[in-house]
Structure 1
């Protein structure tokens, strides 16, 4: 994604780094204002299609993951919701709660308390599997958008020239740490799930996400200023 966001970037996220491995993945949640008369993703899509260019979505800023996941939703569902960027996710959620904006994709940690308090309606999570924090919420894929995924992920990388034996050792130690129940519990408290794996798994993800989000950025005409 970075080369598309900034063509003058002085490094290449694949060529110039060696992946150590993923640390965690954190899904977002699609939430809507209680004032909106929808209770499922399919109903939101139907409403948006009946009112092209009239529904709006909030984000924590232009080009953020909360913005790009919503643009992915626009293209995947074939709708034309309008982007309303905010300086922070909290400000954005406040206006969704009040009904000034129709919907938002945001962190499960921020949204779930509002959903449980009845201030927002949660429709789906953006991971490929349901979240242990909200097992009753379906995935976007289960809700009629096959293959839909828009998560925040974290990983470790080192300079590309790092010896392979060093990369392998770091990967082994990282995976060992991710097996710790304490580490997993701390991640869960932040809405994330440990994602142990091989260095090549992370490299593959970087390549795939660069292509995936680059297409979303180009198709939506996202401008980075």
Structure 2
């Protein structure tokens, strides 16, 4: 079923007025969802190269944040900071598609798990939702530091509860399904393996290499 995202974002913004606002501290006290064991520790070189890639190319580039995941704390990040990061990743995807096309090989992560870029639509939906939240269309100050995974897990649970309480409301059911998808997208987005894939693609754009490696 195709969902009208603009309409749904309006529903999310309107629905927020029926909910009690929460603080970042309340969100931090909630357990973040278990997004599986795909995450892994990234070993970074202390010098200015990583493999065959010159890290000095990153400094000042549009993709600098993507290469600094170890400095990102998703358990203490504002929604506006997440919004900026997702915007950068989507901009990188657009540039990559122009340079290398949309057909990509499947990468294999450290544990032998295939890593496939999220559907472009999923990341664009996340960016659209974060844009709504950046204007205060949610239950927390968009500049307050929170656990972003816990926040979206909580929002998905609230939307599901609301849909169950009013099964006759199709818009609540659609909103609940949408928020579950956003929660899952955030969970995949923050994984180390996902950022390794983003770094590989960004490195290609910065170095103009002719092809993508199959393995990270």
Q: TM-score, normalised by structure 1?
A: 0.28
Relative to total residues, which structure has the larger strand share, 1 or 2?
Answer: 1
Q: TM-score, normalised by structure 2?
A: 0.29
